[in-house]
Amino acid sequence: MTTPTPATVPSNWNLPNAITVFRILLAPLFIWWVLADGGADGPLRWWAAGLFIFAIATDGIDGAIARRTGQVTDLGKLLDPIADKVLTGGALVALSIIGELPVWVTVIVLVREIGITVHRMIVVSDHVVAAAWMGKLKTVAQAVAISLALLPFPMLLGDWVNVVNIITMTIAVVLTIASGIDYVITEIRGRARR
């Protein structure tokens, strides 16, 4: 197997990575809006929900651009899941602070997300661990559950929406745990082969 020449290795300074960094930078603004609204379901809550949905949607855009243009980089593989974790983790913490999400849900998700992110950073000099299919499914489930939790639909549509929110958040938590177990098993098997 030949090592790629510098001319064939895509630069880290590219549009997909810029979109990923932009996603990370949007997180503090959207978190501030959730906290400033404080559960009042006012205009800031709508803005926060809209910004979260926009930011999380760019996850698919940066990946598609990177693959289509041949700009997939190790930095992008590392930053992309971090961006997702900053957004989703920030949203969960904010929802817990304003009392709309049990703290234990946030703790379970953050322990899994931070643990795997730290592991990715530790092994980055050895190998880059790209997101697996179950991890991507978990991210989609979290994005849907958090979006529904952020949107003040119960105020507009009634309390039955809270049941939908509980179901989607439960699915997201189950997939978070399952994908964490899958990650650990994959890494153990990978180490056995190396």
Does the structure show a pLDDT above 70 at 127? no
State the Cα–Cα distance between residues 45 and 8, nearest whole angstrom: 45
For the stretch 150-184, pLDDT in tens is: 999 888 888 889 999 999 999 999 999 999 898 88
At residue 192 the predicted structure's pLDDT band, cuts being 50, 70 and 90, is confident
Polymer length of the chain: 194
Q: How far apart are the first and last CA of the chain?
A: 16
Give the tens place of pLDDT for each residue, 45-89.
999 999 999 999 888 898 889 989 989 888 888 788 889 889 999
- Helix, strand and coil in the chain, % to nearest 5: 80, 0, 20
Contact 35, 97 (CB under 8 A): yes
- CA distance to 45, 95, 98, 117, per residue, from 130 (Å): 33, 29, 34, 11
Residues 6 or more apart in contact with residue 144 via CB below 8 angstroms: 168, 172
